[in-house]
Amino acid sequence: MTKKLRNTDTAAANQKRSQNADEFAESIRDELNKIERVNNYKFQSLSDRVLALNHLNIKTRRGGDWTKTQLSRVLKRLKAINQEEI
């Protein structure tokens, strides 16, 4: 019986996972911007954003409801993406 070797080169998989997370973060930013634009409303807090996402049934990446911590991490990722583009 031949032992199957495990692929230990995870760089490509990590890069794809990071790319997917960036794309998801950008989609959430777009949703939040759309909510502000459609309702002619400017969010005042992180809690407002979380309430809006949950009220509109926009789920997290894993399909759950939003918390302030989760949204904070997504917004932090967006900030990092924008810093890289400069």
User: Taking the model in full, what pTM does it have?
Assistant: 0.82
Q: Is residue 58 part of a domain?
A: yes
AA identity, residue 44: Q
pLDDT at 36: 95
> Which comes out higher in pLDDT, residue 75 or 82?
75
Mean pLDDT value across residues 40-67: 96
Q: Is residue 1 part of a domain?
A: no
Q: Is residue 20 part of a domain?
A: yes
Q: Is residue 7 part of a domain?
A: no
- Residue position matching structure tokens 């998801």: 24
Angle at 64 between CA 55 and CA 21, to 5 degrees: 105
Q: Is residue 2 part of a domain?
A: no
pLDDT at 24: 97
Q: Is residue 73 part of a domain?
A: yes
Q: Is residue 11 part of a domain?
A: no
Statement: residue 1 has pLDDT above 70? no
Give the integer Cα–Cα distance in Å for 16 and 22: 10
pLDDT at 82: 86
DSSP per-residue string spanning 63-77: S----HHHHHHHHHH
86 falls in which pLDDT band (50, 70, 90)? low
- Ranges of beta strands (E only) in the chain are none
The whole domain housing 77 covers 16-85
Give the integer Cα–Cα distance in Å for 57 and 51: 10
Q: Considering its fold, how many domains does the chain have in total?
A: 1
Give the integer Cα–Cα distance in Å for 80 and 82: 5
Average pLDDT score over the chain: 92
